[in-house]
Amino acid sequence: MSGKRWGAVVAAGAMAVGLSVVGSPAQAHGGDHGVRTVGYYTQWSHQDRGIPVRYLVDNGTAARLTHLDYAFGLLDERGGCVSSDPDADYRRSIPAEQSVNGKADRPGQALAGNLNQLRQLKQKFPKLRVYISLGGWIGSAYFSNAALTPQSRAAHVKSCIDLWLKGNLPGAPAGAGKGVFDGIDLDWEWPATEGNAGNVVRPEDKQNFTELLREYRRQLDKQGRADHRTYDLTAFLPANREAMDRGYELPEVYRLLTFATVQGYDYHGAWEKTANQQSALRVPDGDPTTPKDSGEIVVDAHLQRGAPRDKITLGVPYYGRGWTGLPDRENGLFQQSTGPAPATYEAGYDDYRVLKGLLAGGKYTLHRDDKAGHAWLFDGTTFWTYDDPTELARKGRFIRDRKLGGAMIWSLDGDTPQGELIRALSAGLHRH
């Protein structure tokens, strides 16, 4: 299972001795002692989907976030950090009507593109912490190389700090990007476990991932002392229990992280023939699959493996997964498909704001399982599993009731201009 992607969604599947303390409540919540609301904004949101950073201000998202992850930075074959799209990241001029501060970029300014918009977002929302996220489903090919030896780990971390935290962006003035990012998020999918085709995978990735986190913590602490600030370290962790056990020394991983984001979606998708839920809180009655997957199962699996509750930040999807060619039985649930549903960006995958339009068109009927906590659309042959405002409010309450650390959103470009999803999630997370 795979949650996040680079460029496209593809079907898959505290401290060490001698280090400074990380993950204090103030750190973990960006100065806010409430639950976290972490959202991923993707490098391609603006150009590919027409969703600039400004959209997050206009629909009320930014005011409700504690953290924003910018996805993704990549690794080269030797494990060095690189920008996969310098134009999108820091060169592209943003016009006034799409700019966070309402002013057009000027020719020749030191920093433009998404990074400058994120800088403006932080100026508007000073408590917001922004991280660079590295990897993703398609971008995890060379993490194993980066983590392999003490020398490769040191070189990898140094290159990432130089590029993203010191802000030394190729072709831009030295330090042009400094101050945009408050930490680094590792999205290695997955250590010691096959993810996307072509990934380098080694059995020793499990131990090397822990050592990589230690190296990050050492260098981030050193850089933090030099800059008189604290840099955070987070990671995206899997729902799949085999991947958890094969790839992670979870108690130590959690100790080294400020917090973790945990996969709460992609339990099922069109890589399977059976139409099923992709993000239910509990296993629906009659689910024919083995092993079972749900938010409750995934959270309990992390807790059983030593995760502190307040460091589990459960992922929620702003998109749905779909199948077509189903018989008109049981409202489509658990029926056999002929393949993925046609969609806007990729077969079998579409954003909530698009799926809402399907429902409004009158052809689809909304179905809901309040006991399991999931919703779906069905028109007699095509089935979409998705989270609407009702389900996101439910998930917010689940996170609050279980005393977890918060919610993580993949990805922010899926919400409507009215911010229906972020408002519902926030209402569930916070008592009013």
From the list 189, 215, 391, 420, the catalytic residue is 189
Quick count: other Cβ atoms within 10 Å of Cβ 148? 19
Whether residue 214 contacts residue 256, with contact meaning beta carbons closer than 8 Å, is answered with yes
Alpha helices (runs of H) in 71-182, residue ranges in sequence order: 86, 113-124, 143-147, 150-160
Q: What gap in Å lies between CA 150 and CA 211, rounded to an integer? A: 8
Quick count: other Cβ atoms within 10 Å of Cβ 299? 22
Cis ω on the peptide bond leading into residue 72 (within 30° of 0)? yes
Whether residue 232 contacts residue 221, with contact meaning beta carbons closer than 8 Å, is answered with no
Whether residue 382 contacts residue 341, with contact meaning beta carbons closer than 8 Å, is answered with yes
Angle at 381 between CA 375 and CA 384, to 5 degrees: 25
Q: DSSP 3-state assignment of 208?
A: helix
Q: Is 189 a catalytic residue?
A: yes
| Greatest distance between any 2 Cα atoms in the chain | 64
* 8-state DSSP, 174: T
Residues, the chain: 432
Bridge pairing between strands 406-410 and 36-42: parallel
Cis ω on the peptide bond leading into residue 190 (within 30° of 0)? yes
Whether residue 394 contacts residue 281, with contact meaning beta carbons closer than 8 Å, is answered with yes
The neighbouring-strand residues paired with 321 are 349, 385
Give how far the C-alpha of residue 421 lies from the chain's centroid of Cα atoms, to the nearest Å. 16
* 8-state DSSP, 342: P
The residue behind tokens 């009320």 is 60
For the chain, what is the radius of gyration of the CA atoms? 21
Strands (E), 335-429: 339-340, 349-351, 365-369, 374-378, 383-386, 406-410
Return left, alpha or beta for 198; rule: phi > 0 is left, psi -120 to 50 is alpha, else beta. Answer: left
Query: Which two three-digit tokens encode residue 26?
Result: 């103030």
Whether residue 78 contacts residue 144, with contact meaning beta carbons closer than 8 Å, is answered with no
Contacts of 144 (CB under 8 A, 6+ apart): 191, 199, 200, 201, 202, 205, 208
Please identify every residue annotated as catalytic: 189
